[in-house]
Amino acid sequence: MQVSTQVEVPVPPPELARVPLVANNRPLGWISDAVARISEIKTPTWWWIAFGISFTMMLVCFAMIAYLMSTGVGVWGLGHPVMWGWAIVNFVWWIGIGHAGTLISAILFLLRQRWRTAVNRAAEAMTIFAVMCAGIFPVIHVGRIWLAWWLFPLPNANNIWPQFRSPLMWDVFAVSTYFTVSVLFWYLGLIPDLAVYRDRARTKVRQFLYGLFALGWTGSNRHWSNYEKAYLILAGLSTPLVLSVHSIVSLDFAVSQLPGWHTTIFPPYFVAGAIFSGFGMVLTLLIPIRKLCGLEDIITKRHVELMCKVTLATGSIVGYAYGMEVFIAWYSGNPYERYAFWNRAFGPYWWAYWIMIACNVVIPQLFWFRKVRQNMLVVWILSVLVNVGMWFERFVIVVTTLAREFLPANWGFYAPTWVDICTYLGTFGLFFTFFLLFMRFLPVIAIAEVKGVTPQADPHHPLGGAREGGHHG
């Protein structure tokens, strides 16, 4: 029998020791207590203030939509030649933000990044609400909203079917699938945690409602076995989904022939940008949450650092794509392409272009420094700037190209109206209203999953009760 050679195993020096995922060696029950506390305590004042503001803004959003519907798209700044203005910018921006949730829950799951457990629930909720905000824009943008059902695969009044050769139809399928699957994934993850809330509930109403949505979950291992498989499959399905959704959004632009839109790198570049902006928004939301809800031991500084690194990586990929676009515009020798990029940088919208470059390419490079990643306030500010930069990226893509088409006779200048601005701000109200309700009534952290990454949850670990030398012995 072969006895393997005994190898000397170096012990990691302290500066390279891995930081545990749950700080301060918290026990399993503490995790339930810490998360459920947020929903069980008396509603804090800050929550009411935040909710009041968000709710008001949401009403503004609805008022703007009502005004638009009753009057027409003329209330926006759209007009020949820029027929896609803020509405499409906001659509792409919000849907981009919605990519981090599924990325964290699916791709990081497949990559076995265990730190995802602390942030995936909030990120998935963010995804769903962001996609809701995104979905509003294309629908109200069609002008005659009562005909929006033409987007569905139904024959219209003349028995004509929708055209599946148009990327806009692909969008309908991509976004609605994305929304549905994100909700399914989110709900699947919520089932065991709703059971936690049910088991802790002290009032009849809570018992009934959490019990209803927990579907009678008992934590049976026979159930966990199917559950884990379903989770893995959903992760496997969501990974190509998350890549395809923003790829298809990018095809809205790229399959056209317009200079600045038609370029082959668009799909991966949009996906990287979406993940970039999504992580920016996750950081923007979670840094205050971990403070306000006392979750510093679950969402640790290590988690924030890791998210900064994802932001840095995707920001650099976006930078590469910007570089390639400019380079190939020059390389192609196509005068329209060349002009499109010259115009972006030095034309009437030069400020938007340079804000985009500064926020998306330059600023994330600060995340190379540990000192920056460790400073929560700085990370928060930078994450907001990431969001700003990504909004301007979409603005640059949509507006500069349309405002300067092939023929100078077709040129124009686009500016938003107050309705554009208020609708956009109003979607923040919608987003935060839902997010605050989520924070108040549902587990912000995936309780069962975080429990699973602690050492005391591991039957092979001494803290999990393993005997010396492993339990199989």
Q: Which of 84, 170, 380, 431 binds other proteins (CB under 8 A)?
A: 170
251-310 binders of other proteins (CB under 8 A): 251, 254-257, 262-268
12 phi and psi, to 5 degrees?
-60, 135
Nearer to other proteins, 373 or 436 (CB): 373
Nearest CA to 286 out of 267, 263, 318, 310 is that of 310
Residue among 146, 407, 409, 473 that touches other proteins (CB under 8 A): 473
Site for other proteins in 119-158 (CB under 8 A): 153, 155
Q: Which residues contact 392 (CB under 8 A, 6 or more apart)?
A: 352, 353, 355, 356, 359
> Is the Cβ of residue 440 or residue 461 nearer to other proteins in the bound state?
461
Candidates 49, 66, 147, 230; binder of other proteins (CB under 8 A) is 230
Q: How far apart are the first and last CA of the chain?
A: 20
Residues that contact other proteins, how many (by CB under 8 A): 135
Nearer to other proteins, 294 or 452 (CB): 452
Q: Tell me how far apart the alpha carbons of residues 73 and 79 are, in angstroms, rounded to a whole number.
A: 9
Least distance from C-beta 39 to other proteins, angstroms?
15
Q: Which two tokens stand for residue 139?
A: 């629908």
Of 41-49, 123-131, 219-227, 426-434, which segment contacts other proteins by CB under 8 A?
Answer: 219-227
Task: Give, as ranges, the residues between 186 and 215 that touch other proteins (CB under 8 A).
Answer: 187-188, 192, 195-196, 198-200, 211-212, 215
Task: Kindly state the smallest distance separating residue 138's Cβ from other proteins, in Å.
Answer: 16
Contact by Cβ (8 Å): 178, 131: yes
State the minimum distance, in angstroms, from the CB of residue 281 to other proteins. 23
The HSE-up count of residue 257 (CA atoms within 13 Å, CB side) is 2
Q: What is the DSSP letter of 115?
A: T
Question: What are the Cα distances from residue 227, in Å, to 60, 119, 125, 314?
Answer: 41, 20, 20, 32
Among the residue ranges 56-64, 285-293, 390-398, 457-465, the one whose residues contact other proteins (CB under 8 A): 457-465
**Residue 247, interface with other proteins (CB under 8 A)?**
yes
Question: In one letter, which amino acid is 413?
Answer: F
Per CB under 8 A, which region of 58-66, 111-119, 283-291, 352-360 contacts other proteins? Answer: 111-119
Query: Which position among 99, 344, 394, 451 is part of the footprint of other proteins (CB under 8 A)?
Result: 451
Instruction: Enter the DSSP assignment of 77.
Output: S
1 binds other proteins (CB under 8 A): yes
Least Å distance, CB 249 to other proteins, is: 11
Decide: is 415 part of the binding site for other proteins (CB under 8 A): no
- Interface residues for other proteins in 20-49 (CB under 8 A)? 20-21, 27-29, 32
Calpha distance 345→175 (Å, rounded): 31
Q: Is there a cis peptide before residue 81, judged by omega within 30 degrees of 0? A: yes
Block residue for tokens 């804000």: 355
Please, which of residues 44-103 interact with other proteins by CB under 8 A? none
Residues 6+ apart with CB under 8 A from 318: 269, 272, 273, 276, 360, 361, 393
Question: Going by C-beta distance under 8 Å and a sequence separation of 6 or more, which residues neighbour residue 28?
Answer: 451, 454, 456, 457
Q: Which of positions 363-402 make contact with other proteins (CB under 8 A)? A: 368
Q: How far is the CB of 179 from other proteins (least distance, A)?
A: 10
Closer to other proteins by CB, 90 or 238: give it. 238
Segment 312 to 351, residues that bind other proteins, using CB under 8 A: 316, 320-321, 324-325, 328, 330-334
* Residues numbered 416-435 forming contacts with other proteins, rule: CB under 8 A: none
b/e burial code for range 437-454 (CB count within 10 A of at least 16 → b): bbbeebbbbbbbbbbebb
C-alpha span between 67 and 423 (Å, rounded): 10
Between 56 and 226, CB nearer to other proteins: 226
Q: What's at 203, amino acid-wise?
A: T
Identify which range of 78-86, 225-233, 295-303, 418-426 contacts other proteins by CB under 8 A.
Answer: 225-233
- Distance CA(444)–CA(44), nearest Å, equals 16
